[in-house]
Amino acid sequence: MQNQEKFEALVKNMLELIGENPNREGLIKTPQRVAKAYAFMTKGYAQNPVEILNEALFESDNDQMVLIKDIEFYSMCEHHLLPIIGRAHVAYIPDGKVVGLSKIPRMVDVFARRLQIQEQLTEQIADAIHSVIKPKGVGVVVQARHMCIEMRGVEKTHSATTTSALRGMFLRSDTRKEFFDIINSPSVNRF
């Protein structure tokens, strides 16, 4: 992390402002640990999702839906810097090209490892796939729990938020229905 010393000083100052003693045994190394954690949790700023997708773009005759379901992710709310814990379901219909399957979860993580709002995260995932792979259509659904809702404010611990972004053929009712039917179906045989 650039400016790690400055970041650590800010954490130490924050600890003092909330009434803690940053020099007590349990907190002495907290500024370093927090700096390291934030460097990891925001590493998406240093990554390029377009490069990740372009690393494994292949020609293909497939013209049927490709779906990766239940991509777990962790992010942080840009309003409160509290965790967002969720799953993304990402599908596209190829138009001459497919992308290596591992690249989609990696691309999700690039956007998730930035300060986010869920609506923006969902759109960014769809836009990246649409612009790089150039498929006939893209469908993205993100379901998440927000600690800014659960830990503070309204304190609703069993609420979840769902957002979607649809492009191209996924705007047609038949494709949309197929996509939502698949992501909402129970996973009977987990591998």
Among all residues, which ones are annotated catalytic? 77-80, 118, 146, 148
Spatial contact of 92 and 131, defined as CB atoms under 8 Å apart? no
Q: How far is 75 from 72, CA to CA, in rounded Å?
A: 10
Could you please report the per-residue DSSP string of 38-107? Answer: HHHHTGGGG--HHHHHHTTEEE----S-EEEEEEEEEEEETTT--EEEEEEEEEEE-SSEEE-TTHHHHH
Distance, in Å, from the CA atom of 96 to the CA atom of 127, rounded to the nearest integer, reads 18
Contact 95, 58 (CB under 8 A): no
How far apart CA 108 and CA 88 sit, in angstroms, is 8
Residues 6 or more apart in contact with residue 42 via CB below 8 angstroms: 76, 113, 114, 115
Other Cβ atoms less than 10 A from the Cβ of 47: the count is 15
Q: Classify residue 14 as exposed, middle or buried by CB count within 10 Å of its CB (0-12, 13-18, 19+).
A: middle
